[in-house]
Amino acid sequence: MSVPELIRKKRDGEELTDDELHSFVTGVTDGTVQDCQVGAMLMAMYIRGMSNTEAANLTRHMAQSGDLLTWDPLWKDLLVDKHSTGGVGDKVSLPLAPALAALGLKVPMISGRGLQFTGGTLDKLESIPGFKVVCTLPALKEALEKAGCFIAGASGSLAPADKQLYKIRDVTATVGCTPLIVASIISKKVAEGTHSLVMDIKQCHHLSILQKHSTPTLPPSSSFCVMDDIALQMSMLPDLGSKSQLSVVQVV
């Protein structure tokens, strides 16, 4: 099926099959799907929504669009990560990753950039002169083995489909689509090879996720369906924003 036909199908509210989503993600990754077509598909997904099956399939194909990090089997119960839904002043990842590593855990953290008006973890780290957020796979493996943690971004070889979709979501007003948020977060976690994940759900006005007349959150039905499909352990931690779980002294 052609890309315009896939867009039409989703625009009209039909459910995309596993093969169709695989074709779309492959095209996004190799560049055969144009940015304007990606934007049109994202808007169709935003307006029409996605079923749990679609979200799970999209997540899996995004994760498998590049390399998948693998670790020592003895680390299985030590591989942990945290990801936030995003908000102004959100800096929890910066002290949390090394703190967990100091306790003997392994934290392979693939993070994101800012969306809309929020600054992402990678943007904050890049403000440090010489800090590199895009690293080779051998460098990431060395960091986890020696330091017990790393914070890096999706790259050309690690979750490349998410890197492209993330960029286009930011300029097409499709950031707040829950299935796309879930797919973006979980695909990075699958690619990094983590075993357990804590979702830091921001619940305040200064957020990347905004829902009219309701508290911003990720519906458990969609997120846990995806987690079950890929066998990743997850728990959710509400964060009121004004009472952060961790605080960082910020020096300008």
Active-site residue list: 81-84, 121, 169, 184, 188-189
Instruction: In whole angstroms, give the CA distance from residue 131 to residue 54.
Output: 37
Separation between Cα atoms, residue 236 and residue 217, nearest integer Å: 10
d(CA 74, CA 69): 15
Class of residue 26 by CB neighbours under 10 A (exposed 0-12, middle 13-18, buried 19+): middle
Q: Which residues pair with 83 in a beta bridge?
A: 199
φ/ψ of residue 39, rounded to 5: -60, -40
- How large is the angle between the packed helices 178-192 and 160-171, nearest 10 degrees? 150
Give long-range contacts, CB 8 A cutoff, 24+ apart: 9-18.
Answer: 10/41, 10/44, 10/45, 10/48, 11/40, 11/44, 11/47, 11/48, 12/48, 13/48, 15/51, 15/53, 15/54, 16/54, 16/57, 18/57
- CA–CA separation, 18 and 21 (whole Å): 5
Count of beta carbons in the 10 Å neighbourhood of residue 211: 11
